Structure 1
Amino acid sequence: MGKPHHKLEVWRRSLKIVTKIYKITAQYPADEKFGLVSQMRRAAVSIPSNIAEGAARNSKKEFINFLHIAQGSTSELETQILISENLDFVSQIQVDPLFKELEEISRMIIGLQKSLRSSK
C-alpha cells in the first residue's frame, strides 16, 4: 500500500509523541503506574502501531480502518492528558505543546484517510 509506514510523516510524528508521553508519565505518582500511566502509554503506542499495521495491509479499506483506530487513540490520549492536568500531574506548559502536536497528528490521519478514499 503506497509508502512503507516508516516513510509516513504522520507515523514519525506519532512516534515522537510516544517518547514524550513516556518521559512525562515517568514523573507521575507511583500509585498511577497501573492506572493512568499505563492507559496513556498504551494510547500513545497505539497511534503509530495502528498506522504501521494499516500500512502493511493489502487493501485501502483495511488501512483506513486502522487509521480510524489510530484516530480514536489520539482522542483517548488527549482526554487522558486533560485528566492529568486536572489532577495536577502535568502543567499547562506541558499540556499545550502536546495538544498542539496531537491536533496536527489527528489532521494528518484524517488527510491520509481522505487521500486513500479518493485514490484509485
Structure 2
Amino acid sequence: MAQEFESFRVYKETLALTQKVFELLNHQHLKNEFEFSNQMKRAVLSISNNIAEGSEYNNNAQFVRFLKYAKGSCAEVRNMLNICNEIYHINTEDLKEHCREISVQLSKFIDYLKNNDNKRS
C-alpha cells in the first residue's frame, strides 16, 4: 500500500506554514486587503493540495508533476511575503525561510521519486 500523504514530512510542514500564513493575514494592515489575502490563501493552500492530489496517482511521474506545482505555489507565497514586507512593512523573514525549507524538501522528494520505480504500490 502506498504511503498516505498525511505521513509525508513535507506535507506536515506545509500545514504548519498554512497556519502561520492565515495568522499573518489577520494583521491589521492586511485585514482589509481582501484580494491580496484571498490570493495568498489560495497559494498557500495549493502547496498542500498539490501534494495530496499528486500522491493519489499510482505513478511517480504524475506525482512529480504535482510536486512541481507545489514548488511553484511555494514560490508564489514567498513572493507575496516579500510584498508584505515591502508594502506593509511586516517582517516575514521567518515565513520566507519556512517556504525555502519546504521548497528544498519538495526538490529532494522530486529527486527521490525520479530515481525510483515508476509505479508506486
TM-score (norm 1): 0.91
Partner of 1:48: 48
Cα 1:119–1:29 change in 2 (3 A) is: closer
Segments of 5+ residues of structure 2 without an aligned counterpart are none
1:87-115, Cα deviation, whole Å (9 max, x unpaired): 12512xxx111111111100000000000
Matched, 1:110 2:107: yes
| Higher fraction of helix | 1
TM-score (norm 2): 0.90
Determine if contact 2:30/2:37 at 8 Å carries over to the other structure.
no
Write the letter of the residue equivalent to 1:97: D
Say how many residue pairs are matched.
Answer: 116
Segments of 5+ residues of structure 1 without an aligned counterpart are none
After TM superposition, the runs of 4+ consecutive aligned structure 1 residues lying more than 4 A away are: none
